[in-house]
Amino acid sequence: MAVDTLSGAFGGATRKSRSYNLGTPLVLAAALVLLYLWLSTQQLDSMEARVLSAASIRDATLAHLTLTAISTSIVVVIAIPIGVLLTRPFARWLTPWVMAVANVGQAAPALGVLVLLSILFGIGTKIAIVTLVFHATLPVLRNTIAGIQQVDSALLEAGRGMGMSRRQILRRLELPLAVPVVMAGLRTTIVICVGIATVATFINAGGLGDIVVAGIKLQRTSILVTGGVLTAVIALGLDWLAGLAEKYVRPQGI
Amino acid sequence: MSDIKLVNVTKQYDGQPLPAVDGVTLDIAAGELVVFVGPSGCGKTTTMKMINRLIEPTSGRILLGGTDVMSIEPNELRRHIGYVIQQIGLFPHMTISENIQLVPGLLGWDKTRSRRRADELLELVGLDPVAYRDRYPRQLSGGQQQRVGVARALAADPPVMLMDEPFGATDPITRERLQNEFLRLQAELRKTIVFVTHDFDEAVKLGDRIAVLEERSRIAQYDTPERILATPADDYVASFAGSATAIKRLALIPAERLPGKPLNVANGLPTLDKGGSARDVLDLMIRWGTAQVAVDGGKAVDFETICGLLGDDHGR
């Protein structure tokens, strides 16, 4: 995973074009249209009709997006400063310890963590967000560290030799040059959040997991497929949007 | 003025049996280009980096225009010393102009002034500001990037420059061109320059004086290129200077300064172009099998003249 994320980032760094990849949104739109057409050919019973009503789908989708957005924001606020801190000489010794915790966070089964936390602290959206953050911190954290470490040491030496302070070197050299790698980590985090947010339904925190689980319980393929397709479309769609954002925040020249 | 004095400067790293730099004492006059030349790992770069405090000496004093560098805040010190490294180190996410404006920016110059300065310097190093100021480093060739590296070091007009093998990573043709441009620039600017290289021929070509360094940066000889070639202090310097040192010395004598006879226009001698050296005169003689060469400016130089050039101190 680490290698994938990094090589993706470096591959991106050498690409110069700012063209949008319009293939992804077209495929996603086509998937949604097909889903709609397929559903309209089905005879929906009353249970299916209730779960697949516009209001039900809208609420689940909004809840899902909210969970993802809040968790991702918290990850950004936590992981980037910690990542930056861990690359400073005085804190470097802490890096293996923090990475160990972050690795456990990602390796632990989400459902297990969710259940454990809800037994300890009760159910609801807050606990779901804690689980998501616990799970999705690693990519941003790891890529912030990697992104700063991959900055050519000759550049830092040049900066120091020209009289830039440590703070100026961080702000004007290390951080801008780490952006592509950090953004690659952020994309991974977003996709993980969208995926894991489906289990939030088990502690009554809503999301598209409601629809998927309803499909399983009621043994209705139509519901199950709808929940699955919507989750996948959101994951890929947000990843595409983040890729677009990456093109804009990446400094010119690199 | 900005002369540099190193007084008994030593750098001892923890856990190393011997110091990396061992008691170096050296005077560099203001406006002089001094080359530190020595094998890899001899401590020449360490010695240079102690001048702008990228490395702190263990003992000894370094005076810059009479002021101990240890009494100046390091970042402030470095902003007033130009610094060029072999890897150039242009910042890839900044335009050429932004790269050059960096130190003026750190010194608090206003935008208009530093922008004008960047254009001026691009002009100085032979790059058209209109074409190059808004480009990014990766859009430039290696030689162009190194020119920008020199321009960036000159940005705030520092009296002192430190250059660490600045032309080391370029191909021979580009290197020679950069060296020639750099000599022309230095003739105009008269900065006090410490230039580190392991290439003895580069040292001879560029240096007003050369410090030949041995292990632990001890000075084997500190003198003008002519005298190091003519009278190497010991076997170490002689081996470093290499073979054919007499020929190398001829290269240091401009052909214009050679004594000659008035030229008979009709004699059809091979003619040396402007800017050549006594070595080029000898080269033409050997190539054409003549004992006389016409030198630009209307004189004929004899083979005997060339043979007598190195005169008294031929170091036999």
Residue B306 has pLDDT above 60, yes or no: yes
Average pLDDT, chain A: 88
Give the pLDDT of residue B310. Answer: 80
| Contact (Cβ atoms closer than 8 angstroms) between residue B313 and residue B231 | yes
pLDDT at A254 over 90: no
Q: How far apart are CA B279 and CA A81, in angstroms?
A: 63
Residues of chain B with pLDDT > 70, as a percent, come to 97
pLDDT at B312: 55
pLDDT at B75 over 60: yes
User: B258-274: string of b/e by CB count within 10 Å (b at 16+)?
Assistant: bebeebeeeeebeebee
The whole-angstrom separation of Cα B9 and Cα B19 is 11
Confidence of residue B69 (pLDDT cuts 50, 70, 90): very high
Residue B268: the pLDDT is 77
Decide if A155 contacts B91 (C-beta within 8 A): yes
Q: What is the dihedral of CA B269, B271, B276, B277, to 10 degrees?
A: 0
Q: What is the pLDDT of residue A13?
A: 40
Residue keyed to tokens 């090589």: A7
- Confidence band (pLDDT; 50, 70, 90) for B316? very low
Tally of CB atoms within 10 A around A112: 11
Residue B167 neighbours by CB under 8 Å, 6+ apart = B146, B174, B175, B178, B179, B182, B202
Count of Cβ atoms closer than 10 Å to residue A171 Cβ: 12
pLDDT (average), residues A4-9: 40
Q: Is the pLDDT of residue A11 over 50?
A: no
Chain B interface mutation, best of A162, A165, A168, highest count of B Cβ atoms under 10 Å: A162
The pair of three-digit structure tokens given for residue B249, joined into one six-digit string: 């010395």
Residue/partner pairs of A76-83 with CB below 8 Å, 24 or more apart: A76/A140, A76/A186, A78/A133, A78/A137, A79/A137, A79/A140, A79/A141, A79/A144, A80/A140, A80/A144, A80/A182, A82/A141, A82/A144, A83/A140, A83/A141, A83/A142, A83/A143, A83/A144, A83/A145, A83/A148, A83/A182
Q: Which two tokens stand for residue A147?
A: 């992104």
Which residue numbers of B have CB closer than 8 Å to A's CBs? 52, 54, 74-80, 83, 85, 87-95, 102-103, 106, 136-138, 152, 162
| Chain A positions touching chain B (beta carbons under 8 Å) | 152, 154-155, 157-165, 168, 172-173, 176-177, 251-254
Is residue A163's pLDDT more than 70? Answer: yes
Output the average pLDDT for chain B: 91
Is the Cα dihedral A191, A19, B99, B166 positive or negative? positive
Residue in B closest to A163 by C-alpha:
B75
Q: Is A163 close to B92, i.e. CB distance below 8 A?
A: no
Indicate whether B242 pLDDT > 80: yes
Say if residues B37 and B131 touch (Cβ distance below 8 Å): no
Q: Is residue B270's pLDDT more than 80? A: yes
As a whole-number percent, the residues of chain A with pLDDT over 70 amount to: 92
CA distance A134 to chain B (A): 34
Max CA distance (Å), chain B: 74
Domains along chain B with CATH numbers: 4-244 (3.40.50.300), 249-308 (no CATH)
pLDDT tens column, B152-170:
999 999 999 999 999 988 8
CA angle A11, A142, A79 (to 5 degrees): 120
- pLDDT level of residue A6 (50, 70, 90 thresholds): very low
Chain B: closest CA distance from residue A178 (Å): 11
Tell me which of A44 and B147 has the higher pLDDT. Answer: B147
- Average pLDDT for A56-63: 94
Please write the tens of the pLDDT for every residue from A179-198.
999 999 999 999 999 999 99
Question: How far from B292 is each of B246, B258, B309, CA to CA, in Å?
Answer: 20, 13, 15
**B47, B52, B166, B193, B316 from B1: Cα distances, Å:** 21, 17, 25, 13, 40
> What are A110-143's pLDDT values in tens digits?
888 888 888 899 888 999 999 999 999 999 999 9
How confident is the model at residue B266, as a pLDDT? 60
Q: What is the pLDDT of residue A3?
A: 39
pLDDT at A9: 40
User: Could you tell me the pLDDT band of residue A19, with boundaries at 50, 70 and 90?
Assistant: low
pLDDT for B23 equals: 93
Higher-scoring residue by pLDDT: B249, B53? B53
Q: Which domains does chain A show, CATH number per domain?
A: 66-249 (1.10.3720.10)
* A99 vs A102: CA distance, rounded Å: 5
pLDDT of residue B236: 93
Distance, in Å, from the CA atom of B259 to the CA atom of A84, rounded to the nearest integer, reads 68
Specify the pLDDT at position B73: 96
Whether residue B302 has pLDDT greater than 90? no
- What's the confidence (pLDDT) of residue B207? 96
Residue pointed to by tokens 């911190």: A137
Using a CB-CB distance cutoff of 8 angstroms, which residues of chain A are in contact with residue B88?
Answer: 154, 158
Query: How large is the average pLDDT for residues B210-233?
Result: 94
Mean pLDDT for the stretch of residues B54-73:
96
Based on its alpha-carbon atoms, the radius of gyration of chain B, rounded to whole angstroms, reads: 22
Structure tokens belonging to residue B104 = 């003026």
pLDDT tens digit string along A144-158? 999 999 999 999 999
What's the pLDDT band for B314 if we cut at 50, 70, 90? very low
- Pairwise pLDDT comparison (A48 vs B111), residue with the higher score: B111
The DSSP letter of residue B273 is: P
Residue A215 has pLDDT above 60, yes or no: yes
